[in-house]
Amino acid sequence: MRILGIESSCDETGVALVETTEAGWPQLLAHALHSQIEMHQAYGGVVPELASRDHIRRVLPLTREVMARAGHTLADVDVVAYTRGPGLAGALLVGSGVACALAASLGKPVMGIHHLEGHLLSPFLSADPPQFPFVALLVSGGHTQLMRVDGVGRYALLGETIDDAAGEAFDKSAKLMGLPYPGGPGLSRLAEQGNPATYKLPRPLLHSGDLDFSFAGLKTAVLTQCKKLGPVAHTEGAPERADLAASTQAAIVEVLTRKAMTALKETGLQRLVVAGGVGANRELRRQLNALCEKAGVRVHYPELHLCTDNGAMIAMAAAMRLQAGLQGAEPRYSFDVKPRWPLQDIAVESV
Ligand code: KG4
Ligand code: ZN
C-alpha cells in the first residue's frame, strides 16, 4: 500500500510517498519539501495569509516531484494523508483541500493526521527505529511535551509547557539578539562561540516536582539582560552576544534534559525518543546522549532533515495507524481541520 502524505500546517510545504511492507515498518520512497522561511523572514515571523498562499503554489509541483523521484504515478497511490491539525487554519485548509480533491479525483480514500503524532513517530523512518514503549520528548515551535508512548495511538501526557514552547523560547530570545526568524538554528550556531556560564539565567520549574515546563520567564530574563548589555546584545561578532546565546541555550537544554531524565526514572522506561524541530539542536543531543548513556537508556532521534516539519512524518503516521488498525482510510471528502487539537484526544487508551 502506498500512502501520499501532505504537510501544510505552518511554514513548510512537505509531500512524501511511503510504502507499507509485509514485515517491519513502512518505508519512505521519496519526499520533497519547500520551506517558506525566507519569505517570512522580512516580517520576523510567520504571516498566516502568506503561508496559505504559498502552500497553494507549492503543493502540486512538490507532489509531481515526489512521484517522479519515487518512479510512480498518482495512479499508484492507495491513500492520501494530510495534516488535519494542529496548526494555522488557512494553511491546514490548503493541505486538506488538495488532499481531498486529489483523492476524490483518483477515487481513493483520505486520512486526516495529527501533526504531533507525525513528529512522535518520525524516528521510525530512521535507520535505527525505536521499540515501544518509550518516553517521548516533543519539542517544536508550538509544543513542548513529555509523553509516555506504549504503541501507535497509545499516548499518555506526562507533562507539558504551561506557557511558551521550547522552540518559541529559542525564537523569541534569538529575536532579542537580532537574529533572523526562526532563531533556533541561528542561536545555537552563535552559542557554539560563547560561554554558557557567563549569564545566570533562570531554569523555570526545574525543581517543581512535576514534569511541566515554563519558558516565558526565561525570555523576560533574556530581555532584561539585553537591555543591560545595550547595543552589543545584537551586534554581530560581539563576544557578549555569543555568551548570551550560549547561556540561553544552556538554560533551555538543562530544563529539557533534566525533565526528560526524570520522566524516564518515574516511568522506569529505558528508551527516549526526541522529536520536533528543537530535536535538531546539537547541544540538546550532546547532553541527552551523555546522560542516557550513563543511565543505560537508548535514545532515538529522527534523521536530522526530518526533525522539522515534513510530509514524510505525515505519510508515516498514516501508514502506522493503518497497520495498527486504528484508523480506516475513508472516501469521505468533506474535510474539516483542527487548528487546536491536543494529542491526547487521539489516544486510544490512557496508560
Ligand atoms: O517542529 P517544527 O519544524 O515546527 C513546529 O511544529 O513548530 O519546529 C520549529 C522550531 C522553531 O522554533 C525552530 O527555531 C526550532 O524548531 N529549531 C531549533 C533548531 N532547529 C529548529 N531550535 C534550536 N536548535 C536548532 N538547531
Ligand atoms: Zn512541527
Query: 179-202 pLDDT, tens per residue?
Result: 999 999 999 999 999 999 999 999
Backbone phi, psi, residue 36, to 5°: -90, 5
Ligand 1 touching residue 139 (CB < 6 A): no
Using DSSP's 3-state secondary structure scheme, residue 217 falls into helix
Measured from the Cα of 308, ligand 1's closest atom is 3
Do 267 and 135 form a contact (C-beta atoms < 8 A)?
Answer: yes
Strands 134-139 and 271-275: parallel
Which pLDDT tens digit goes with each residue over 92-107?
A: 999 999 999 999 999 9
Ligand 1 touching residue 281 (CB < 6 A): yes
CA distance 280 to 117: 18
Ligand 1 touching residue 145 (CB < 6 A): no
Do 129 and 265 form a contact (C-beta atoms < 8 A)?
Answer: no
Substitution site in 10, 35, 140 for ligand 1 pocket (most atoms within 8 Å of beta carbon): 140
Which pLDDT tens digit goes with each residue over 292-330?
A: 999 999 999 999 999 999 999 999 999 999 999 999 999
On the question of pLDDT at 90 being above 60, the answer is: yes
Which pLDDT tens digit goes with each residue over 150-176?
A: 999 999 999 999 999 999 999 999 999
DSSP category for residue 10? S
C-alpha cell read off for 13: 510545504
pLDDT in the model for residue 351:
45
Beta bridge partners of 82: 6, 112
**Hey, whose CA ends up nearest to atom 13 of ligand 1?**
184
Substitution site in 13, 143, 308, 313 for ligand 1 pocket (most atoms within 8 Å of beta carbon): 308
Per-chain mean pLDDT for the chain: 96
For ligand 1, the distance from its centroid to the CA atom of residue 174, given in whole angstroms, is 12
Measured from the Cα of 183, ligand 1's closest atom is 14
CA distance 335 to 82: 10
CA distance 10 to 20: 27
Which pLDDT tens digit goes with each residue over 58-77?
A: 999 999 999 999 999 999 99
